Structure 1
């Protein structure tokens, strides 16, 4: 087997062309192959797994001097293709979750600890998204220790915990730091390091319960019109209408199976990714129509069981629930709402708020949204300003 960057690059490009990738995408791969070839000059053009790891680590843009998500994805994806060819003799074009592209610790002790943590998460039966989040933060902390010259778990101290949290502030919003701390704490409990837990408590992060406003009725009307009259693809229209009308979580829309749609009854029945609870919801006629149009006319031929697939090759399931956010925003922009930024969370709030305004009982809203606990629905009370005004008590001696 010829293992030069040039030879493997030709094989990779041929595989991309056979799979129907767009010219622009293949052109981007060629640019990454070119830079990989420059790195390989010191070793006579030969590709090795170590060389691939070096390219994947080059995530800092030379122009801005800052982290580049585009470089991270382009180089990481190319390295996956090169590595698959070196290890198996074939180019594996299957899509991988983002977590697979993350660097792993070099220390055998850290690698073993991370594997034990991953096994514990799986044995506890946590949702896949939760496992990815908990495991990802643990991995990032261990990598942070290694970057600071620490390769033994016993050498980790409280200062490293606070330093790690500070490093997250470049990528995590201030309002999300509570979530980061909450997702990191279980790992430290697993390791039984009470000193590190005490250091984590010093962060004193607070949970933010921001009031998410409802979407203006005119904005919603324009979005529905764009979905109804073909301004966007049937796939994107079906996803956006599902979000608007049902308030489904992004992870549930992403993992929706063809067998979950009950066409004759006009319903969908699924097991929620977050809670593991079964949920059956009726579909509005327009939503059902767009789903049927997509499945019967626009959905690419594929063996995948998921309803929603990539429009571009490879035609596999969407990479993760973040893809739903991108699609929904694209639909809003296509409908002329370029200044409106939304996601499935805001659309979930919007659906719940409309049900509340219509006089729907909280337990019913809780059942529709698939909450594990009915108390979770209380947060939506904050947007029902009319009913909140009726709860105001007059001040003693005040003139009305």
Structure 2
């Protein structure tokens, strides 16, 4: 006798076992996250077979563990050819049952934290909650702090009150030669930040941050690698906007090129950040900084085209979603970088890099060429300090020519 799970899934027999009452809602959850009918049917059928096995093994829902998934897949492999994605599908089912409250959260043995890990985690919380630093900054700082504490205390207990200026200098001298200059500079910045935190906690009485040696790394030593306007036009023209993915990627590249957004700002953009009536866009930048930007008509049309005829149905509030199920927002800035790299590789554009930041440099360079001031450029790019924008003076060739001295022995 056939069993109708929902309007999309019909099974050849009535499902049995403890999971059977939840198969309808499981199918509906798959549908809302953008899975195709074929994949929904496959996952529901696998869930029904798993449920039947649980019934024969007399395993209750509240007793399901990861070991049961492994045991069932081994049992299934003796009868049917294993398919790629079976374990992931069952994991998805268990996550759904946990969300429904019928399967308890997995209880994992939590290893005892070392003294180094205790201070590293405490410092991480300080950066996130007290300093409101961006996630990327925290990810960069904390490993250097772990290395410093391990270098000084080894496997023993960490006593920050025992730190001295000699410890700080010895660590920097030991590590800096092994690192790239920019990475070494980042290490010293992280170290100063941690030593300020140690003093903030009252563990250190003296200003050890002042003892951190300076790593030579000339400010603004390089010229920004900026993509040219013609290259941007050719890249945009190479994107096929007849597909949903093409409409999404076209809108993403326009946001990078016309507004100079960072990858993370594009990935974190939400539907509520767009004010269609006022023609404005709210950008969430570094350290929680918010910036209101005008939404150019060209960009607005591209985003609207994606929202109307490209964005998969989803309850997510993120503007841009994954092209494949589950339909959810991107994990972070790296996803935007991957999209840019993929589009550049498929085009005939010989761009300076394969990264997304070159669009930001390209916009600033073009604005400067058209007569915009550094203040205007900094406001658009969301720079909090004027010194950050000063690097673009290097690409203002006309102004630099006026400052150039005559060549000795040349014509007067």
Query: Is the TM-score greater than 0.5?
Result: yes
- CA distance in 2 between partners of 1:83 and 1:211 (Å): 52
1:325 to 303, 328, 337: 337
Q: What do the CA deviations read for 1:212-251 (whole angstroms, capped 9, x no partner)?
A: 2432444222112124754862111111111111111222
Aligned to 1:118: 124
Aligned to 1:137: 143
Aligned to 2:73: none
Task: Could you tell me which runs of 5 or more consecutive residues in structure 2 were left unpaired when the two chains were aligned.
Answer: 1-25, 40-64, 68-87
Task: Could you tell me which runs of 5 or more consecutive residues in structure 1 were left unpaired when the two chains were aligned.
Answer: 1-14, 24-45, 49-76, 93-103
Aligned to 2:192: 185
Aligned to 1:361: 373
| Secondary structure, aligned partner of 1:132 | helix
Counterparts in 2 of 1:277 and 1:306: CA distance versus 1, 3 Å: same
- CA distance in 1 between partners of 2:232 and 2:137 (Å): 35
Counterparts in 2 of 1:142 and 1:246: CA distance versus 1, 3 Å: same
- CA distance in 1 between partners of 2:252 and 2:320 (Å): 8
Establish whether residue 314 from structure 1 lines up as the match of residue 326 from structure 2: yes
The TM-score, its normalising length taken from structure 1, stands at: 0.65
Output aligned runs, 1:40-119, within 5 Å.
Answer: 89=103, 107-119=113-125
Do 2:148 and 2:171's aligned partners in 1 also have CA atoms closer than 8 Å? no
Deviation at 1:279, TM superposition (A): 2.0
Do 2:226 and 2:365's aligned partners in 1 also have CA atoms closer than 8 Å? yes
Do 1:162 and 1:199's aligned partners in 2 also have CA atoms closer than 8 Å? no
Aligned to 2:289: 276
Count of aligned residue pairs for this structure pair = 320
Aligned to 2:306: 294
Do 1:144 and 1:164's aligned partners in 2 also have CA atoms closer than 8 Å? no
Do 2:184 and 2:215's aligned partners in 1 also have CA atoms closer than 8 Å? no
- CA distance in 2 between partners of 1:392 and 1:106 (Å): 64
Counterparts in 2 of 1:277 and 1:201: CA distance versus 1, 3 Å: same
- CA distance in 2 between partners of 1:378 and 1:342 (Å): 24
Do 1:226 and 1:335's aligned partners in 2 also have CA atoms closer than 8 Å? yes
- CA distance in 1 between partners of 2:376 and 2:288 (Å): 17
Deviation at 1:252, TM superposition (A): 1.6
Aligned to 1:304: 316
Do 1:355 and 1:365's aligned partners in 2 also have CA atoms closer than 8 Å? yes
Do 2:225 and 2:352's aligned partners in 1 also have CA atoms closer than 8 Å? no
Aligned to 1:201: 213
| Secondary structure, aligned partner of 1:302 | coil
Output aligned runs, 1:204-353, within 5 Å.
Answer: 204=216, 206-207=218-219, 209-227=221-239, 229-230=241-242, 233-274=246-287, 276-285=289-298, 287-337=299-349, 340-353=352-365
- CA distance in 2 between partners of 1:162 and 1:230 (Å): 57
Question: Mean alpha-carbon deviation: is it higher for 209-218 or for 152-161?
Answer: 152-161
Q: Name the larger-Rg structure.
A: 2
Q: What do the CA deviations read for 1:156-187 (whole angstroms, capped 9, x no partner)?
A: 744455555567x4xxx544432343234201
Aligned to 1:64: none
Counterparts in 2 of 1:335 and 1:262: CA distance versus 1, 3 Å: farther
Deviation at 1:259, TM superposition (A): 1.4
Do 1:240 and 1:331's aligned partners in 2 also have CA atoms closer than 8 Å? no
Aligned to 1:9: none
| Secondary structure, aligned partner of 1:278 | strand
The TM-score, its normalising length taken from structure 2, stands at: 0.63
Deviation at 1:200, TM superposition (A): 4.3
Cα root mean square deviation, aligned: 4.3
| Secondary structure, aligned partner of 2:252 | helix
| Secondary structure, aligned partner of 2:286 | coil
